Amino acid sequence: MEDLSLHILDIVENSLRANAKHIEIKLIQDEKKDRLTLEIIDDGEGMSEETRKQSLNPFFTTREGKKIGLGLSFLAQSAEEAGGKLEIESMKGKGTKVTAEFTLSHIDRKPIGNIEETVRCLKATHPDVCFDFESLNN
């Protein structure tokens, strides 16, 4: 994927398929720590521990009729290429939190992209879902 806004679209689609009604998107730029953190938190169905462990495997998906699930593995790869990591916290029935960390100044960090337009599109196409977007610069 070319930029982080496209990763956000992909991960939010996972949240929507999990019947989330409230999705928080946070982008935190901390120049002192040289970190860029992306958090996507939803109140969807959540994942079992077994599913969470498999979720970064590109040949694993929970979608019917599909054989691959690349969204989370692509985001993990983007984070790792930029000196960061991806973490997933989830509990069945409690929702999911995806946190991707990047070295802000890393030459291989993907550009942020047009996140405001991405969130605007999500709100327009899913009016029944509450989207909260927060961008912080520390």
pLDDT-based confidence at 72, cuts 50/70/90?
A: confident
Contact 38, 4 (CB under 8 A): yes
Beta-strand runs (E) in the chain: 22-30, 35-42, 85-91, 95-103, 130-137
Q: Is 137 helix (H, G, I), strand (E, B) or coil?
A: strand
Going along the chain from its start, the domains and CATH numbers come out as: 4-137 (3.30.565.10)
Lowest mean pLDDT among 8-12, 39-43, 53-57, 64-68: 64-68
The residue that leads in pLDDT, 38 or 63, is 38
Q: Is the pTM of this model over 0.85?
A: yes
